[in-house]
Amino acid sequence: MTFKEKCLKLKNSILEAIFPSNFSCILCDNEMPNDSLICEECRKEQIFNVGNKCCKCDTIVKEGNIICDNCKENKRLFEKCFCPLIYDGKVRKAILKFKSDGAKYLAKPFAKLIYERILQENIDIDFIIPVPSHIKTIKKRGYNPAFVIAEELSLLLNKPVCDILEKNVLSSSQKTLTFVERQTNLENCMVLKDKTIVKNKNILIVDDVITTCATINACSSLLHKANKIYAVAVARTQLTK
């Protein structure tokens, strides 16, 4: 290979890195000819959280219903949740890859999906608060998934991240518990590091997955002096209860 050919190859490599001609689907890794996040094949599956949804927790409910049974029976301390995807199948695999396999790069496309959903809603926020992880969990994973999503979302919304919630007790994993157990598992596990900053502010809580809303509710209870509290996550688990 001549020097000129080497230079041309290097130039093309740099241009491809900056302006890639092919993108990979975040759910199946298949290459796509454009900058879409999800390929057409994956879009054909039931991955999007659309339809008639609960006015509080964003889970799908029967046509004609406004609020789900869980939100009727459990007091919600937040205004509303927004989740673009359904936590199942390929979406579940992608989120587990992000949380447990070090796929930190997925934070950016996940944040973009959340951002696109937020744009559909007429809400105003002052700052973003990620759901905290215990220090031992962060050391094991290398990062807090909610925090890295919050950072990417901050760039899109042009709103600051305030990492003021701290998980100081290593509680049982929510995914191993029943619906009822989840509601009390996080009690007294978190603290608010700055009580003055939230007063009369509109807050956006960020998590990776919302299931029973127990985590979001626990966070919201510490932020009760805020004006309004909204919550977002990449995906919503669809519960029967």
Tens of pLDDT, residues 44-96:
999 999 999 999 999 999 999 999 999 999 999 999 999 999 999 999 999 99
Low-confidence ranges of the chain (pLDDT < 70): 1-22, 170-188, 240-241
Which pLDDT score is estimated for 92?
Answer: 96
Q: Which domains does the chain have, with CATH numbers?
A: 1-44 (no CATH), 48-236 (3.40.50.2020)
In 80-201, beta strands by DSSP E: 80-82, 85-86, 127-130, 165-167, 190-192
The first and second tokens of residue 91, run together, are 């979406």
Distance of CA 77 to the CA centre of its chain: 19
Q: Report in angstroms the alpha-carbon separations of 62 from 28, 47, 51, 69, 141.
A: 30, 18, 9, 11, 38
The first and second tokens of residue 27, run together, are 């759910």
Which pLDDT score is estimated for 23?
Answer: 74
Nearest to 90 by CA among 179, 186, 26, 154: 26
Which pLDDT score is estimated for 189?
Answer: 78
Helix, strand, coil distribution of the chain in percent, nearest 5: 40, 15, 45
- The Cα–Cα gap between 209 and 126 comes to 22
Which pLDDT score is estimated for 129?
Answer: 97
Which pLDDT score is estimated for 225?
Answer: 92
